[in-house]
Amino acid sequence: METIQNFQILWYALIFVLLLGYSLLDGFDLGIGSLLPFLGRDKEERDTLIHSIGPVWDGNEVWLITGGGALFAAFPQAYATAFSGFYVAMMLVLFALIFRAVSMEFRAHDAVRAGLWEKALVAGSAVATVLFGVALGNVIYGVPLDPRMEYTGDFLTLLRPVPLLFGLTGLAAVLLQGAAWAVMKTEGALQQRAFKAVRILLGVNGAVAILYFIVMAASFPGLTDRPLFYAGVLLTLLGLVGLFFSVRRQNDGAPFWESSCSFIGLWLVAGAAQFPNLIKASNDPRLSLTIFNSSTGLHTLKVMSVIALIGMPIVIGYTVFVYRIFKGKTRPSGSY
């Protein structure tokens, strides 16, 4: 029994890392898309912003696909409950991501409706970000489940204050991540506009993060007894403080990493509140889906662990390779 519990905890941690990696990497993609009309004053500047994410955005989504696949294989009951219960929300996320993806291509080849495709890119990026946050907030805060571990609410049930706070917090973090990426990848007037956006979003993120920490501590008894909670708070504050001084010095390399540090802190607090639950039952804690009552068998977990031991270094190595190839400032022509 102890052996299978070790593997269940291992796969909880691995899925957490995959979703965290997705939020950090695709987060700046979504941030750039959401900020496009605010940072880019003309077509050339908007081209520069889109070219800055062009070589990497689709690879970043591999982390989400891998995380979803890992959840399906390791914790199939939780996967079934989440994807069937949140069906409408999941379809909205899917459509938002599809429109975000195709809008970048159509914008480049459909000059007559380029403005329309840019609006689709902005809307798709922002909607997907908020809905991801709301979905995460619901599985952590809790949703009504029946004895068969099936979701018994509706779409409006998902739109409660605490899950909406998760959506707002995620949107603020993603916008900051996108602005920090623009600082690192652009030059001249566009970069100065990105610096200004970082300064504004820094204050927004500080205020939202404080509210997030207070609500989390109040909503989850015992959370403040967990060291991971304090580690997350400290990491977020260190990231935001470091970002403040980097922006004052006009340092264009550090802000992205400091924004990422802050984002990781928010995730650590969420992870501290969630463990060992996967989907918390708000109506009866005994109905909650945990890593222990919703996992697959020991043999499958062992086989998956061997695959992950081989596959994860490949994914990480490929990601590092791609970012090294396309490092440096982005030009409007798309050259690097």
Q: Model confidence over 80-107: pLDDT tens digits? A: 988 888 888 888 988 998 888 889 888 8
Q: Model confidence over 152-185: pLDDT tens digits? A: 888 888 899 999 999 999 999 999 999 999 999 9
Does 335 have pLDDT greater than 50?
Answer: no
What fold does the segment set 2-325 form as a domain?
Answer: Formate dehydrogenase/DMSO reductase fold (1.20.1630)
pLDDT at 333: 61
pTM: 0.93
Rounded to the nearest 5 degrees, what angle is found at the Cα of 276, between the Cα atoms of 275 and 278? 90
Does 186 have pLDDT greater than 90?
Answer: yes
Q: Model confidence over 111-153: pLDDT tens digits? A: 888 889 999 999 999 999 999 999 999 999 999 998 888 888 8
Q: What is the mean pLDDT of residues 202-222?
A: 95
Q: What is the mean pLDDT of residues 327-335?
A: 71
Where residue 284 falls among pLDDT bands split at 50, 70, 90?
Answer: confident
Does 336 have pLDDT greater than 50?
Answer: no
Q: Where are the domains of the chain?
A: 2-325
Buried b (16+ CB within 10 A) or exposed e, 15-29: bbbbbbbbbbbbbbb
Which of 335, 268, 122 is CA-nearest to residue 130? 122
Q: Report long-range pairs for 291-297 (Cβ below 8 Å, ≥24 apart).
A: 291/8, 291/9, 291/11, 291/12, 291/75, 292/5, 292/8, 293/77, 294/75, 294/76, 294/77, 294/78, 294/149, 295/4, 295/7, 295/8, 295/11, 295/74, 295/75, 296/73, 296/74, 296/75, 296/76, 297/4
